[in-house]
Homo-oligomer: A and B are copies of this chain.
Amino acid sequence: VSLKHALLGLLAESPASGYDLLKRFNTSLAFVWPAKQSQVYAELGRLAEEGLISVTGTGARNRTEYGITAEGLAELRHWLATDDGERTYRSGPLLRVFFLWTLPPAARAEYLDGFARELEERQIEFRRLRDETDWGDTDIDKCARVVLEFGLRSSAVTEEWASWAAQQLGA
């Protein structure tokens, strides 16, 4: 159950409303741990009941701001320190490649080349983010940059691989 810890982590940075948090899930966290609106609001309710977060203020339009509590921070640190060994990756694109042999060679290469192009675009987006964001030299920003760097490196090798795979399976 990691949505819980994603929320705690974001709230450890600064208090925020469900709406604020949602924006994070659609931007910085989109490639790491995406979440939907309904899920975020529901989880915030549960965390508040558990006492891991608490309402720190309210604003216009029913805005409710939550902050992390001491117990919440302890829970977050505990989760970080104890690796649960969960390594469940799921990749739709990769699953398709596994079964690409059922298609004619031309279609195989087409699929993989399309995938490569997509990854190229993603890299451009990541590079733009890296270069156009003005990063502070706080630890928070350092961590975010390190994660972004992973996105960049990983989409680069995946693109290379997809192009290579298109060659392998296209003939």
Write the residues of chain A forming the contact surface with B, with a CB cutoff of 8 angstroms.
Answer: 2, 5-6, 9, 12, 28-29, 31-34, 73, 76-77, 79-81, 83-84, 86-103, 107, 111, 114, 138-140, 142-144, 146-147, 149-150, 153-154, 157-158, 160-161, 164-165, 168-169
Number of copies: 2
Contact pick for A157, options B76, B91, B142, B157, CB 8 Å: B157
13 contacts across the A-B interface (CB closer than 8 A): A2-B90, A9-B95, A9-B98, A9-B102, A29-B95, A80-B96, A81-B103, A89-B91, A97-B143, A99-B143, A101-B140, A150-B165, A153-B160
Whether the Cβ atoms of B153 and A157 lie closer than 8 Å is yes
**A99 neighbours in B (Cβ, 8 Å):** 5, 9, 12, 76, 80, 143
Contact pick for A97, options B97, B102, B147, CB 8 Å: B147
Contact pick for A161, options B83, B91, B92, B149, CB 8 Å: B149
Whether the Cβ atoms of A169 and B143 lie closer than 8 Å is yes
Whether the Cβ atoms of B144 and A98 lie closer than 8 Å is yes
**A103 neighbours in B (Cβ, 8 Å):** 77, 80-81
Known: A89-B91, A103-B77, A168-B142. A98 touches B149 (CB 8 A): no
